[in-house]
Amino acid sequence: MLGLAFAILNSWTALAASLSLALPSGGPVAVIWGLVTAGICNLSLAASLAEFLSALPTAGGQYHWVATIAPPSLKIPLSWVTGWINMSGWVSLVATNCSLSSTLIINIISLQKPDYEFQRWHQFLIYMGIACVAFATNAFLHSVLPRINGVAFTWSIAGFFIISITLLACAAPDYATADYVFATFINTTGWPDGIAWLLGLLQGGLGLTGFDAVAHMIEEIPNAAIEGPKIMLYCQYIGITTGFLFLVVVLFVSGGMVNTSTIISSTAGPLLEIFYLATNSKVGAVCLLMFPLLCLIFAAIAVMTTSSRMVFAFARDGGLPASRIWWKVHPKLGVPLNALYLNVAITLVFGCIYLGSTVAFNAIIASSVVALGISYGMPVGLLVLQGRSKLPERAFTLPNWLGWTANIIGLIYTVVTSVLFLFPPALPVDGTTMNYCVVAFAVIIVISLVQWIVDGRKNYEGPRITIGEGEIDE
């Protein structure tokens, strides 16, 4: 389970692949200190949710926890909204990993073929190809998924050390200064400096989100009430530590301020451009990029696993249109195949953003981070409003003062970032550069409300306390 959780977060890889989010929006200051800020806040959220997980270890996660502590008159609608937002966040996180992977592949082509003319549909096809690989692996290789997650964990840790050592050796002694790495601010977005830095938090937020994967897979591990919270916190510790160290290495070998504009504007992307500048070899740079690329493909597989379980759990509780379809388990494959189909279909819809927007990358990432963040904030917010005494008995308990501190820090972070990450990444804004995360989130809310009016308010009774196994398709 730790391997699965780390494969999903894959923090150092996600942070490296998303350098383009923070470098123009605060530069090294946003990259390093943005991660520290996001790390403290996400660790606070993880600690807060770990208490819920210890008390209620079910695959429903946040929407189950909300139903447990919300006032009786509000528990059903609040549980419904939380379930929809959390499920949407996980499906969009599938799209995020496919987006990051496809971007790195396009970067490789751009480095090797300087005359390559990028077309949006090129990336769309690569993006969908990766989504299909994730689907096929989950559908037909279910029995070996634990081994795949173990390989992903090993590959990620090995890549972290191999890339770091290689870059430091190749770039020596021409490192950037410590002042550049830790104190240089760059803003090319058109936003005021303060807003630009806050928008750069999206990189750190992405690298550390998804830790509720442990909750959605919790019914598949023994001693869940004790082991679940540990895993949730361990993957945050590992993610923050490896992410911080890797970003420091990457910035030190980047060449400093003299190369910054080249790195930001490179058609090969910031990460591959830094690899190339450090190694002075296109082949060497591409070889190093294979580590984060395969990590992201592994992550797409792991995220689709968790996302399909989230769809399964919510459908099992009657939260989706035609719920009986989505929680059926295939009799031979032993997986919720229809839930996997739904994941691929929605991933396809997200991918269509590439065909109409030049900043689709930012929009898809923001959609996942915002939706998951709000789902984390819902149970924590209810706890802050009603008092920590509402938490059920549990094996994992924070000291009261620490619990309040973690709850409040996590809640403030959720509120601030949920608003900021809806902003367009740069000014001026037109139809191709707006942040379509706003549109995606609005569509989710509208569908959720319509489904509530048509069916949910009459038939949804909240999460099941007694967990079933799912319906086997005949």
Q: What is the pLDDT of residue 467?
A: 40
pLDDT tens per residue across span 205-219: 999 998 988 888 787
What is the reported pTM? Answer: 0.91
User: In this structure, which amino acid lies at residue 53?
Assistant: L
Domain count for the chain, please give it: 1
Q: What is the pLDDT of residue 1?
A: 57
Q: What is the pLDDT of residue 473?
A: 42
Burial tier of 332 (Cβ tally within 10 Å: 0-12, 13-18, 19+)? exposed
Cβ distance 351 to 98 under 8 Å?
yes
- Residue 470 counted as domain residue: no
- Residue 474 counted as domain residue: no
- Residue 463 counted as domain residue: no
Q: What is the pLDDT of residue 276?
A: 96
- Residue 269 counted as domain residue: yes
Element (H, E) at 268: none
- Residue 323 counted as domain residue: yes
- Residue 93 counted as domain residue: yes
CATH number, domain of 196, equals: 1.20.1740.10
354 DSSP assignment: G
Q: What is the pLDDT of residue 135?
A: 97
Q: What is the pLDDT of residue 465?
A: 54
Q: What is the pLDDT of residue 119?
A: 87
Q: What is the pLDDT of residue 7?
A: 65
- Residue 440 counted as domain residue: yes
pLDDT tens per residue across span 58-76: 878 899 999 999 999 899 9
Q: What range defines the domain where residue 132 resides?
A: 2-458
- Residue 466 counted as domain residue: no
CB-facing half-sphere around the CA of 319: CA atoms within 13 A: 28
pLDDT < 50 regions, the chain? 466-474
User: In this structure, which amino acid lies at residue 403?
Assistant: G
